[in-house]
């Protein structure tokens, strides 16, 4: 199945999955464990513990004693370890969520992003082939709406041409096509889940939605006065990660492997995410100025709580993403359950509780 984040880098279950995606791994592990799976995950060696999002899934969380979830040290950049682990576990499902998944940072770590997100997927597929599991494994690849980048049609669906606008998007494009190639060349049951933005309280702190919810929580508790963002007008199709991991599983339960877009079909701007987050704590944000001089001022107190900083802009921006999940609705009987407003409220509430208990979190 799947496991943790930045430093977690694979996951399987008797099923083998991978989580470099910051939040999906922990939800997928929960989901599969509830269904009775034995879940195996790969974690990258780190000098500090990096399993915070899955500690509650241990048989004994205090002692980190494993039950139906078992962890292995490994990395997507190490093909030998992938072959060793897959041969040992002999999974029936593999969920590859592993990635350097921060789009802005991919411009600074372009080669590393290509190695992990692109070639890493090839290493995993080759490991399946080397271990002789082509006919017994089902493989899920975490694709991304960033493949569409400079969108060629609105909304975006499975047949929309790709136009990635970042090293992350380009690396994921290679991964997408190598999955298709293994499916067609070797008859491997392999699918791409083209998931649009999905968030939760477990999102990493340097991603824009979590940065907003954390900052709003701190402002609400008097721990912070102001925070900075980049492009306020970027529009995204935001859903909840808990809903989206169910779609991943459903893709592997079909008779024939197919690629699916998973999205809500709704579009909201970063600006709107800010406004709704503040509204939930009783503050109304009024915008003043333009471009880098724009600020978000609290209507009730007159205090400036939001500023714009150009360092958070991407060299090439993706301005608008909106998914069409008609195929998933029809063939998987899947639909999102959590609304945008519910998502925002859940994230802000969770961070208010977090900051109450640990202001330095």
Q: In Å, what is the CA distance from 116 to each residue of 6, 141, 172, 173?
A: 12, 13, 10, 13
- The predicted-structure confidence for 25-80, as pLDDT tens digits, reads as follows 889 989 999 999 999 988 876 544 555 555 565 555 544 445 678 888 899 999 99
Residue 22 lies in a domain: yes
The CATH number of the domain holding residue 145 is 3.40.50.720
What is residue 286's predicted lDDT score, i.e. its pLDDT? Answer: 97
Residue 347 lies in a domain: no
What is residue 203's predicted lDDT score, i.e. its pLDDT? Answer: 87
What is the residue range of 72's domain? 6-202+238-267+318-338
More confident residue, 43 or 226: 226
Residue 307 lies in a domain: yes
pLDDT at 9 exceeding the cut of 50: no
Whether the model clears a pTM of 0.95, i.e. scores above it, the answer is no
Q: Do 185 and 329 lie in a common domain?
A: yes
Please tell me which residue in 37, 140, 168, 176 is annotated as part of the active site: 168
What is residue 6's predicted lDDT score, i.e. its pLDDT? Answer: 26
Both tokens of 116, joined, read 């992990």
> C-alpha dihedral over 78, 84, 89, 92, to 10 degrees?
60
pLDDT at 222 exceeding the cut of 50: yes
Residue 1 lies in a domain: no
What is residue 196's predicted lDDT score, i.e. its pLDDT? Answer: 96
- Residue 144 falls in the annotated catalytic set: yes
Q: Do 119 and 261 lie in a common domain?
A: yes
Please tell me which residue in 93, 146, 199, 346 is annotated as part of the active site: 146
The lowest-confidence range among 6-15, 58-67, 211-220, 316-325 is: 6-15
Considering the chain, what is the average pLDDT of its residues? 89
Q: Do 132 and 263 lie in a common domain?
A: yes
Q: What percent of the chain has pLDDT over 90?
A: 77
- The predicted-structure confidence for 183-221, as pLDDT tens digits, reads as follows 999 999 999 999 999 999 988 888 899 999 999 999 999
Both tokens of 296, joined, read 């978000």
- Residue 168 falls in the annotated catalytic set: yes
Q: Do 33 and 177 lie in a common domain?
A: yes
- Tokens 């999940």 belong to residue: 325
Q: Do 334 and 185 lie in a common domain?
A: yes
Q: Do 109 and 249 lie in a common domain?
A: yes
Kindly report the backbone phi and psi dihedral angles of residue 217, in degrees, each rounded to the nearest multiple of 5, phi listed first.
-65, -45
Q: Do 227 and 279 lie in a common domain?
A: yes
Question: How far is Cα 327 from Cα 329, in angstroms, rounded to an integer?
Answer: 5
Residue 345 lies in a domain: no
Q: Do 131 and 276 lie in a common domain?
A: no
Residue 344 lies in a domain: no
Please tell me which residue in 51, 113, 121, 144 is annotated as part of the active site: 144
What is residue 84's predicted lDDT score, i.e. its pLDDT? Answer: 96
Residue 172 lies in a domain: yes
Select from 171, 145, 161 the least CA-distant residue to 244: 145
Q: Do 79 and 127 lie in a common domain?
A: yes
What is residue 2's predicted lDDT score, i.e. its pLDDT? Answer: 36
Select from 43, 45, 57 the least CA-distant residue to 4: 43
Question: How far is Cα 30 from Cα 103, in angstroms, rounded to an integer?
Answer: 26
Average pLDDT over residues 281-296: 95
- The predicted-structure confidence for 86-118, as pLDDT tens digits, reads as follows 999 999 999 999 999 889 999 999 999 999 999
What is residue 324's predicted lDDT score, i.e. its pLDDT? Answer: 98
Average pLDDT over residues 126-143: 97
Residue 288 lies in a domain: yes
Select from 192, 193, 196, 194 the least CA-distant residue to 239: 196
The CATH number of the domain holding residue 213 is 3.90.25.10
Q: Do 181 and 197 lie in a common domain?
A: yes
What is residue 56's predicted lDDT score, i.e. its pLDDT? Answer: 63
- For the chain, how many structural domains are there in total? 2
């Amino acid at each position: 199945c799947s496991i943790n984040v930045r430093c977690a880098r694979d996951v399987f279950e008797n099923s083998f999955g991978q989580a470099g995606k910051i939040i999906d791994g922990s939800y997928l592990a929960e989901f599969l464990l509830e269904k009775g799976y034995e879940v195996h995950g790969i974690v990258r060696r780190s000098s500090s513990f990096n399993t915070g999002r899955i500690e509650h899934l241990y048989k004994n969380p205090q002692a980190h004693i494993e039950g139906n979830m078992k962890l292995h040290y490994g990395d997507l950049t190490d093909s030998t370890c992938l072959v060793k682990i897959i041969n040992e576990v002999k999974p029936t499902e593999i969920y590859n969520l592993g990635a350097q998944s921060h789009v802005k940072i991919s411009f600074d770590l372009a080669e590393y992003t290509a190695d992990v997100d692109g070639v890493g997927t090839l290493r995993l597929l080759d490991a399946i082939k080397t271990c002789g599991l082509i006919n017994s494994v089902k493989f899920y690849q975490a694709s991304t709406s960033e493949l569409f980048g400079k969108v060629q049609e609105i909304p975006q669906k499975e047949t929309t041409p790709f136009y990635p606008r970042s090293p992350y998007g380009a690396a994921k494009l290679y991964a997408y096509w190598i999955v298709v190639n293994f499916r067609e060349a070797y008859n491997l049951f392999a699918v791409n889940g083209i998931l649009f933005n999905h968030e939760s309280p477990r999102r990493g702190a340097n991603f824009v939605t979590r940065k907003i919810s954390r900052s709003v929580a701190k402002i609400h508790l008097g721990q912070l006065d102001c925070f900075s963002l980049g492009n306020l007008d970027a529009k995204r199709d935001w859903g909840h990660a808990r809903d989206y991991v169910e779609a991943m599983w459903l893709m592997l339960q079909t008779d024939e492997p197919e690629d699916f877009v998973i999205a809500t079909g709704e579009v909201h701007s970063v600006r709107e995410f800010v406004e709704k987050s503040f509204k939930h704590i009783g503050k109304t944000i009024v915008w003043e100025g333009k471009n880098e001089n724009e600020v978000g001022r609290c209507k009730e107190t007159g205090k400036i709580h939001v500023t714009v900083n150009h360092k958070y802009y991407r060299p090439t921006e993706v301005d608008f993403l909106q998914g069409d999940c008609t195929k998933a609705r029809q063939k998987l009987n899947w639909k999102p359950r959590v609304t945008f407003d519910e998502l925002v409220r859940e994230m802000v509430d969770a961070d208010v509780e977090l900051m109450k208990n640990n202001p330095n979190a």
